[in-house]
Amino acid sequence: MSGSQSVTILETTLRDGSYAINFQFTAADTAIICAELEKAGFEFIEIGHGVGLGASEKGMGQAAETDEVYLKSAAEALSRARFGMFCIPGVATLEHLDLAADQGMGFVRVGTNVTEVETGKPFIAKAKQKGMYVSANMMKSYAMPPREMADKALLLEDYGADVLCVVDSAGGMLDDDLRQYFEAIKARSNIPLGFHGHDNLGLAVAHSLRAVELGAVVVDGSLQGLGRSSGNAPTEILVAALTRMGIRTGIDYLKVMDIGAKYIRPLIRRGGLGSLDLVAGYAQFHSSYMGTIRKFASKYRVDPRKLIIRLCEVDRVEAPAALVERLAQELSRQGDEVFSARFDFDEYFGDEQNR
């Protein structure tokens, strides 16, 4: 690596980090943290409900503020950096993008399951029409073989996305998985690549650095690693490590540490390693289905970890209630003794898949 290489760190504390506090960042929180992040050098700051535009309206966890209030708060706080939101087709509507554009939103991340990227086409088109920078986030990237994913990348390039983000939604990818996805896509498409990792197996930082080595132009971070499930790659570590590698980020890593320590570290309530998070990474299970796991693991008195593993042997994209119940019934015949109160189900918020 040389000092001539640069990478953009997209700061997602105010969006993905909001999962960890049940979506309760306020307008004041948003304004303060946005302003501090801009001073530190960030160009892209993601805000709003963790599940994205329209999520509160769909009953996927009630955020402290409306989408419009979050947008106004960021717009008033920022003078240079672009702010953006997540957008899942079916949760958000095209009208939500009109609202966002009216408030000056500079970028959007259109998130679809890797198997459903076609649903993002009208949203990408609308966002580009409104002058936004568009990231196409392929949620649960691990659920599709690399060559098939490369075919989807061609579609997203044709739709007009500015960057394709490989997403390790369950934090369970290994180094070789990441390499195969990046190489397969680059062999078929010219679309720039990004990476969004979760830390279920403790690999989010390593994979983010590896993604940069593989050519990623954007990687995601959140202050103190705050985020859904086991969290994200800590921004503080990403900036410091990339700087050590001789890669330019345009960010003052000491200021980043100060922001995280002052505003986010007091919000960290979890300690140690949660076995549900670890198993989610191992099995490549999206934590937004944890409510379904909890329901049937409790009903049939089975170990929720075994139920997660068994489900992912069948389906790593969805968690249909009928399937989860059938698998729980099968596991119940093993007669395990389970003390379920020790599992921290209440740490999981958001239900973006259940729409």
pLDDT digits (tens, 9 = 90+) for 265-290: 999 877 777 889 899 989 999 988 99
The Cα–Cα gap between 78 and 225 comes to 23
**Matching CATH number, 8-267, of 2.120.10.10, 3.40.50.2000, 3.20.20.70, 3.40.50.620:** 3.20.20.70
Give the residue extent of every domain in the chain: 8-267, 275-347
Residue tagged 């943290």 (tokens): 33
Distance CA 99, CA 117 (A): 23
Which residue, 61, 67, 56, 70, is CA-closest to 27?
70
Cα(118)–Cα(100) distance, rounded to whole angstroms? 22
For 119-123, 124-128, 190-194, 268-272, which range has the lowest pLDDT when averaged over its residues? 268-272
Residue 13 is given by DSSP the state: T
Q: Is the pLDDT of residue 2 over 80?
A: no
Distance of CA 268 to the CA centre of its chain: 18
H or E stretch including 183? Answer: helix 175-188
9's tokens: 């760190």
The neighbouring-strand residues paired with 348 are none
User: Percent of the chain, pLDDT > 90?
Assistant: 88
Task: Identify the DSSP state of 131.
Answer: T
Distance CA 308, CA 321 (A): 13
Tell me, letter by letter, the H, E, C secondary structure of 294-309.
Answer: HHHHHHHCCCHHHHHH
pLDDT in tens, 321-351: 999 999 999 999 988 777 676 777 777 776 6
Domain 275-347 listed as CATH 1.10.8: yes
pTM for the model: 0.90
- What does R_g of the chain's alpha carbons equal in angstroms? 19
Q: For the chain, what is the mean pLDDT?
A: 94
